[in-house]
A = this chain, B = another copy of it.
């Protein structure tokens, strides 16, 4: 309050009266002080704020990225999450404003709210930034995190019971008679850590001690998972079951296992986590006409930014190429 007073060039008493709606303060001064307090992220009651700027029927969605891995937004789980959020927001008459924020600067997400561009912000994943998220909650920024429920949490999370998920996945493998079980994932991420914890609990309940050599570290990226599985197989550790922290990790690891002559599910049974679309059907690699999606985004954005400047961009037709895979073969004579 002292800060507001100093910056507004008035006394603390005036600020207090203004924020309490005292008739002693004229409308212009009051407006000025409320706006100032709001811009500086001092918590102000929500109805006053809405009175001022009106309610914006837009919800921000932030997908944080780590500077080093820079997980692509095209990750199937992120996309599934965007899809379900977009559908649910449409049903409730809201639009979705999508942004990416560096995990090291998660506090930037407050701007999406404080600038009035969105009325609340969804954050996909905690990314090990529990403390900065707590700090944002103290500042009164309205946000909700998809992620793990953690001790001493001041913010709202929605997520699954990861430890229980890890337990049921592992119990399923144990019930199939499998005993040498590997886990794939990055246990520095809260959700993966809880899934691993449930995995270890189930092993111990079955009288087995978790073997650190069977913990295969990998990020959530598909190519990282392939590399991790190749490295693991090179060490010639025998496993008969695999529980992966995500379906994308599981599908990529399964590809490597099969390519190296292991039979799935007989030699190694594989369990994922998520149930993304692609998990539900099995298929051969598909021969297809490739639309260059990466190029598509860049070309579209190029045209859009031209259009936004009042120019009339020319249409563009992108080349297609045939991607021949296992779903096509010569006809037997």
Contact = CB atoms under 8 A, between A and B. Distances in A.
Given A75-B83, A95-B99, A120-B305, 7 more contacts: A9-B29, A73-B87, A142-B307, A158-B296, A160-B320, A172-B322, A279-B325
Interface string A252-296: 101100100000111001111111011111111111111111101
Contacts of A36: 7
Copies of this chain in its oligomeric complex: 2
Contacts of A6: 32
30 contacts: A7-B7, A7-B35, A8-B8, A8-B9, A9-B9, A9-B10, A59-B305, A76-B76, A79-B80, A84-B298, A85-B297, A86-B100, A87-B297, A88-B301, A89-B301, A142-B308, A160-B289, A160-B292, A161-B320, A164-B320, A165-B289, A168-B320, A168-B322, A250-B286, A251-B281, A270-B286, A270-B327, A274-B288, A274-B290, A277-B278
A275 B323 contact: yes
Interface in A223-261: 240-241, 247, 250-252, 254-255, 258
Chain A binding surface, main DSSP class: mixed
Nearest to A41: B43
Q: Which of A282, A288, A319, A323 has the most CB of B within 10 A?
A: A288
A255 B281 contact: yes
A85 B301 contact: yes
Contact of A313 (B39, B156, B284, B314): B156
Contact of A327 (B97, B143, B254): B254
Contacts of A149: 315, 317
A303 B269 contact: no
B296 A84 contact: yes
A320 to B, nearest CB: 4
